[in-house]
Amino acid sequence: MTYSPAQAGVMTGEDYFRSVGVLQDGMLPIVASSGAYPAFDSTGGTAITITDSVAAAGAAYTSSFAAYDVSGKSKILFLSYQHTGASSHGVGIGLHDSTDEGPLTTSYKDVYQYVIADAGATLYSTPGWSLIGSDTTIGNATTVTTNIVGMAIYADGTDVKTFFKGGSTSQWIQIFSALDSSHTNYDQVWLKFTGQSTRFITPVMCWGS
């Protein structure tokens, strides 16, 4: 397979994210791989197994997560690609503040959770598990024949923004932009899934400061 630096840049979105101001000077790579999927720092729920560039969840249905520690960042941008498999609740990514919310678990205690599913896109925040973004006009089918899509989330203690890339030839687009100052500390970035043979595929990237 021919490696194309230009296409790799589109996949990781670096030029796009710089152009819209969410990847800024001083934000350094914390997780960065376009090859093998990096080992997770913590997981919960259905087991997830890494083989080369893919992290594949088992078939058992249960609320699940796989996370990376990012050590108390105040500004964060996280992206990954995923295939929903048969996941009946879609797949998502998010940010966690263990100082405010305690250890990351499979329950809904997450600072921000961004999910794409059949019914559209949603963005939730604690405290109160509040819906701060909802769009039923864009989503991704939760079937075994669905597309591989890219998802990204950014937060800086004032703004929360989410992004979507609907396949290898599409461009990154912004889905949500919400003013939210409830959380200013980010300890973990994580992948949300319900087992059901969900797959996460590199590139996976996280920048923070």
Specify the DSSP element, H or E, that contains 99: helix 98-101
Classify residue 117 by its DSSP letter. E
> In angstroms, rounded to a whole number, what is the distance separating the alpha carbons of residues 93 and 153?
7
User: 65 lies in which domain range?
Assistant: 5-208
Element (H, E) at 10: helix 5-12
Question: In the numeric block, which tokens belong to residue 139?
Answer: 């989503």
| Dist CA 23 CA 207 (whole Å) | 8
Could you give the CA distance from residue 72 to residue 29 in angstroms, rounded to a whole number?
A: 14
In tens, the pLDDT along 138-171 reads 877 677 767 888 999 999 999 999 999 987 677 9
For residue 4, pLDDT over 60 is answered with: no
Q: What DSSP state is assigned to residue 89?
A: T
pLDDT the model gives residue 85 = 78
CATH assignment at residue 87 = 2.60.120.560
In this prediction, residue 6 carries a pLDDT of: 41
| pLDDT the model gives residue 168 | 66
Contact 167, 147 (CB under 8 A): yes
Mean pLDDT within 38-57: 96
The number of distinct structural domains making up the chain is 1
pLDDT for residue 148:
87
Taking alpha carbons only, the member of 43, 84, 45 closest to residue 67 is: 43
Q: How far is CA 78 from the centre of its chain?
A: 6
Which position has the token pair 């791989």?
A: 33
Residue 109 has pLDDT above 60, yes or no: no
Q: Count other C-beta atoms under 10 Å from residue 171's C-beta.
A: 10
